Structure formats: structure tokens, C-alpha cells
Structure 1
Amino acid sequence: MPTVVRTPTARRAPLAVAGGVLAAIVAASAVNAVLAVGARVLADKPDDFGPLDPGSYMFLTAVGVLLGAVGWAVVRRASKHPHALLRVLVPLVVVVSFVPDFFLFGDGGAAGVAALLLMHVAVAAIAVPVYRRVMPLAAG
């Protein structure tokens, strides 16, 4: 019977990883655009809240997806139990990312802040499955 050699993590071509991360940025930006438009429709002062401007949230969406990819890659490489660690780390990072948005409550009102919070969740919900696909974790 042939010997099967298993590597701890499957490697993907760098272009596949970059393409997946770019796709996550585009998809998350599209979802965030829908959330921003919805919040502007519901807000009392829709044009006064800068974080819902496309330039703001699209830039921060890209930064969030890129930082998430770096964090995923570090955990993937350094942790003996990446599944367990990421099961705790991903929700924790999302919740911590909410903190600055609460300081904007006076400026953006409930609709604006709710949209920002949902944007964080949307980015994670889109990016994590992409990371799983293009940077798979070791079995376990």
C-alpha cells in the first residue's frame, strides 16, 4: 500500500490567495454599499454621516479584509490548533471592532451606527469562508 504524506496545511498559489482576498473585498464592499444606502434612507440626517460615504467604508472594508487575511495566515501557520483559536478569535475581533462605532452614535444616530456594526459582521461573514477556501486550515 502506498504511503500517504499529509502536510499540515494545503498550500494555494499566491495568485489564488490574492484573487480570493480581492473577491472578498469586492463582495464585502457591495454588501456594505447596500447597508450604507439603507442606513441613509432610514437616518434623520442621511448626508451628514461620513463613515457611510463610499470612500470611507470601501477603504476600511479593504483594510479589514486584508488585515483579516494576514491574521488568518499567521494563526494558520503558528497555531497547533487553528480551528479552535479562530473559533474564538474571529468573533472576538469583530466585537472589538464595534467599539469605535459606538463613539459615533451622536453623529450618525441609531441607523448609521447600526449600519456600521452590520458592515463589520458582513465583512467577517464574507471573508472567513474565502479565507477557508484559499488558505485552508490543517485538518482537525
Structure 2
Amino acid sequence: MTATAAPTRRATWKATFAAAAIGAVGGLVVNTLIAVAARALGAPDEFQQLTLPVYGPLTVIGALIAAIAWRSIVNRSRNAAGVLRILVPVVLVLSLIPDVLLLSSKSQPGTTTGGVIALILMHFGVAVAAVPAFQRLMPPRSHDDAR
């Protein structure tokens, strides 16, 4: 997991931004479906976190930050595949902390268990949209590739 030798094929900024765009658009589609389903299942209108003006920018920013981080790992790690295999799930779980805190504090109007579960599912939705795009456009190198 050292980051000393750079892979021979580096991820470009063009690939990074293309992957981020695919992840963002896919994430927005998935998150919109989750928000609509949550509303249909009873999440109250007061819970603004399930509105596009709230989750939309966060989805786009998250996909962009993730793509840049992925690019950095792919370009710097000798075993990017191994690093990402661990890092992606860890970051995904850590990203749920604000949602869990929201559920426990109910600090936002209209907070319900169902609404927060929808927010949690949105994190997974972005990952499901973004990670395949990242893998395709910025393939990670593994130890086996170096041999």
C-alpha cells in the first residue's frame, strides 16, 4: 500500500472530470428516485434534505471530490486497487456519520427514521453510480499489474 512508485498509465484530468460527471449525473438520478420514493412512503415535506436544492449540490460535490481522490490514488499508489478496495467502503461508512447524528438529534424539522434511511441510501446510490465510472475511466493498478 505504499505510494512511492507511480503507475505507468496515469489517470488524466479529462478522465477524472468525465468520471465525476458520470458519477454526479448517475447519483442525481438515483438520489431523485430515492427522494421520490421516500416522499411516497411518508417522509414529510418539512424534511428539506430530501429536496433537490439540498441533495443535488452535495451529490455533485461528493462525486467530484471522490473522483479527484480516486485519481490521486490511481496515480500515486503501486497497489491502487488494494487501497481503493479498503478505502471506498471505509469512506462510505464514514460519510454516514452526519445522517446517524441527524437521526439521533432530530435537529432538522421533519426528521423521521424513514427520511434519514433515504439519506443513507443516497450515499450508496452515488457510490453505485460513481465507482463503476471511476473504474472504467481511471482503472486502478494492482500489485499484479506491476509484475
Q: Which TM bucket (shorter chain)?
A: 0.7 to 0.9
Residue 89 (structure 2) aligns with = 91
CA offset digits 1:17-38 (Å, max 9, x no partner)? 4233212211110110010111
Number of aligned residue pairs: 133
2:7 corresponds to: 8
Give the deviation of 1:80 after TM superposition: 1.6
The letter of the residue matching 2:70 is W
* Paired AA for residue 118 in structure 1: L
| 1:98-119 Cα distance to aligned partner (Å, 9 max, x none) | 0000122224211111111110
- 3-state DSSP class of the match of 2:140? coil
- Cα distance in structure 1, aligned partners of 2:62 and 2:10: 23
| Segment of structure 1 superposing worse, 112-121 or 19-28 | 19-28
1:1-58 CA distance string (max 9 Å, x none): xxxxxx93534664444233212211110110010111112235x2111111101111
Contact 1:9 1:138 in 2 (8 A): no
> 1:20/1:60 Cα in 2 relative to 1: closer, same or farther (>3 Å)?
same
Q: Distance in 2 between matches of 1:15 and 1:71?
A: 14
Whether the 8 Å contact between 2:31 and 2:125 is mirrored in structure 1 is yes
Q: Give the match's secondary structure for 1:104.
A: helix
| Distance in structure 2 (CA, Å) of the matches to 1:96 and 1:8 | 28
TM-score normalized with structure 2 length: 0.82
Aligned to 1:3: none
Check whether the contact 2:27–2:129 (CA below 8 A) recurs between aligned residues: yes
Percent identical pairs in the alignment equals 38
Structure 1 unmatched ranges of 5 or more: 1-6
The answer as to whether partners of 1:28 and 1:122 remain within 8 angstroms in 2 is: yes
Please tell me the root mean square deviation across aligned C-alpha atoms, in Å: 1.8
Match of 1:22 in 2: 21
Distance 2:55 2:25 in 1: 12
Name stretches of at least 5 consecutive residues in structure 2 with no aligned partner.
1-5
Q: Matched residues in 1 for 2:66 and 2:12: separation?
A: 18
Q: Normalising by structure 1, what TM-score?
A: 0.85
